[in-house]
Amino acid sequence: MQFTNGTVQEFILLGFEVGKLQRLLILTFFTLLYMLTMAENFTIIILVVLDTHLARLPMYIFLSNFSWLEICYLNTNIPQMLLDLALSNKIISFSSCFLQFYIFCSLGSTECFFLSSMALDRYLAICHPLRYPQIMSPNFCYVLITASWVLGFLVYIVPITLISKLSFCGPNVIDHFLCDHGPIMALACPPIPKAPIISQIFVDAVVVLSNIMFVVLSYSSVIVTLMKNSSKGNRVKSFSTISLHLLVVTLFYGPLAGIYMKPGEADPNVTKIVTLCYTAITPFLNPMIYCLRNDQMNEAFLRLWRRKAVFLKCKIDRVKKRKGTGNI
């Protein structure tokens, strides 16, 4: 264990305490899941970028950027976890640990703002359909997206900086597969100042609770509007879309509430499983949920496939003509 000025300079990520066979199974499963998740999210981004119709629609502008966010979120901790499982190299430096902690928290708060922006989009589309095209223009979508990224990465600067200034003079084993608030604070040496704890709790409460309230109010207004004004056919279709959005919101906020709002000290093994849910499982499920029964995404995929087929056909025809000319 290395010390500088009385503070450890590296941590050991305990990860999953299982046998070799279980370790191999976990490594195989999450490697495949990682590859599938990357492929899903990149497919959505490519479809939206290459399809001129989808690229102008606010919902798909948000969806493509949300997929990019999920890719960043996934790569913050899963490659490190897979590397630790494969090589049993569980040492992470002090600076790398806190960098991962900062990026992990910042991307989580960015996702909170993204989900609120997408809830606002659905609220305006259903509750104010006549004003929707003027308000939710592509430029305004990009303003909301930029604001989500900026706010997400600003809010955790102060609390994480304060936590990094604490003294870590004793054990350096983090009972987790990533650097997170609870396991890190458990290693801080007393006396622990109140400022880091208060700032972290304040930011968590403001970011998470305010966004949850906004999402709940937005979708509540949407549901009330659908019940009042829509015909039966439109109501069923709209409820189907909204239910998928609510499922994504539940998959993200549900595990967060289970970890951070549970009274008392959480069981480390339960914490690892729940963290895996919203860092690995949720990014895998979200693309399938958003694209499920989504006719526009399916049509965009078919248009891209036809364009590719036409391009390949033209290329083959040109090669044949060159060969024909050469023979003459």
Q: Summarize pLDDT for 208-262 with one digit per residue, the tens.
A: 889 999 999 999 998 888 888 766 666 666 677 788 888 888 888 887 776 666 5
pLDDT at site 5: 47
CA distances from 139 to 55, 119, 136, 178, 226 (A): 12, 17, 8, 37, 28
Burial of 171 (0-12, 13-18, 19+ CB in 10 A): middle
Among candidates 90, 100, 85, which has minimal Cα distance to 29?
Answer: 85
User: Tokens 């959005």 correspond to what residue?
Assistant: 245
Distance CA 185, CA 198 (A): 13
pLDDT at site 145: 96
Entry pTM: 0.85
pLDDT at site 71: 94
CA distances from 199 to 31, 98, 166, 167, 314 (A): 36, 16, 14, 17, 61
pLDDT at site 118: 92
pLDDT at site 180: 86
Distance CA 218, CA 127 (A): 10
Stretches in the chain below the pLDDT threshold 70: 1-7, 89, 230-238, 258-266, 292-293, 295, 298, 300-301, 307-313, 315-317, 319-321, 323-328
pLDDT at site 136: 93
